[in-house]
Amino acid sequence: MFEGVYVAVVTPFAKSGEVDVDSLRAHVDWLIREGVHGLVPAGTCGEYASLSDGERAAVVEAVLAEAKGRVPVVVGVAATTTAQVVRWAEHARDHGAQAVMALPPIQYRPTWAEVVAHYRAIDAVGLPIVIYNNPFDTSTDVTAERVRELEGVARIAAVKEFSGDVRRVTELIQTCRASVLAGADDLVLESMFAGAVGWIAGMANIVPAASVALYEAARTRDYERAWALYRRMLPLLRYDTTPRLVQAIKYGLAAVGRPVGDTRPPRLPLEEADRRRIDAVLADLASLAPTA
């Protein structure tokens, strides 16, 4: 299920500041028509932490309704307590999601026993779990050995690996049953050549067709084409591993004629230098042949 490009979907906001469900559905439809393989709503790119419970539910339901089974939907369920995470996992299950993506506990530095109990509680919902290993935004680093331990207590289907250490891909493949997914856009090619089967991508919101082309070149081991395209995309992909990733995505979407509104504070708009850099990459990628 996890092979391909899974887009971490942004949440559009209207000028009034409210969630723009119509724009969200249009964005989802466009991503699918551009060839992406799956969708991940209510994650960091979706600004989940800035949404009310009602808004978050509406976002997840809109993405699932628009996907209409055309591609799998893996719902982000991060929240400040295990009980809240479980409720979001139940909501995802009840509305037809294929899996959930879950960070370790995010509110404080947990013990490992608490991390295990957290994932065991999510497992009781009954959906496959994608572990999101992001030791930068959480205080927990879910190493390969720890993933193997979690596989003993929960249906861990995949790991979104975002540690920044591409050696982790090999360690996970050698140690665990779970599929390994590239989690950092600016390490996707290295991760795939190391054995990752999929990519949970942020900047694919802006350039889905080019992202799919990059994935396919890597999957088929067309090294020359993959590296050439990757190098052209890298100045954009590097924003995925910065605190400005959501602003970069929303600016980029406006630049390609698909505006989805601004980010919610405390996120502020990009500075001029960042906007110029993104404009240059998008102009270069626009010169690619349609099949690229």
Segment 63-82, tens digit of pLDDT: 999 999 999 999 999 999 99
DSSP assignment of 175-243 equals H-SSEEEE--GGGHHHHHHHT--EEEESGGGT-HHHHHHHHHHHHTT-HHHHHHHHHHHHHHHGGGGST
Q: What is the mean pLDDT of residues 198-210?
A: 98
Q: What is the mean pLDDT of residues 47-65?
A: 98
pTM comes to 0.95
CA–CA distances in Å: residue 288 to residues 148, 205, 282: 42, 17, 10
Residue 108 has a pLDDT of 87
Q: Mean of the per-residue pLDDT values for the chain?
A: 96
Strands (E), 17-72: 38-40
Helix (H/G/I), strand (E/B), else coil: 38:
strand
Taken in order of first residue, the domains within the chain and their CATH numbers are 4-286 (3.20.20.70)
pLDDT at 206 over 80: yes
Segment 244-254, tens digit of pLDDT: 999 999 999 99
The one catalytic residue in 48, 132, 215, 251 is: 132
Tell me which H or E stretch contains 131. strand 129-133
Task: Based on the residue annotation, tell me whether 239 is a catalytic residue of this protein.
Answer: no
Is 200 in contact with 183 (CB distance < 8 Å)? yes
User: Rounded to the nearest 5 degrees, what angle is found at the Cα of 210, between the Cα atoms of 207 and 211?
Assistant: 80
The one catalytic residue in 160, 215, 239, 251 is: 160
Task: Based on the residue annotation, tell me whether 160 is a catalytic residue of this protein.
Answer: yes
Share of the chain above pLDDT 90, in %: 96
Q: What is the mean pLDDT of residues 26-47?
A: 98
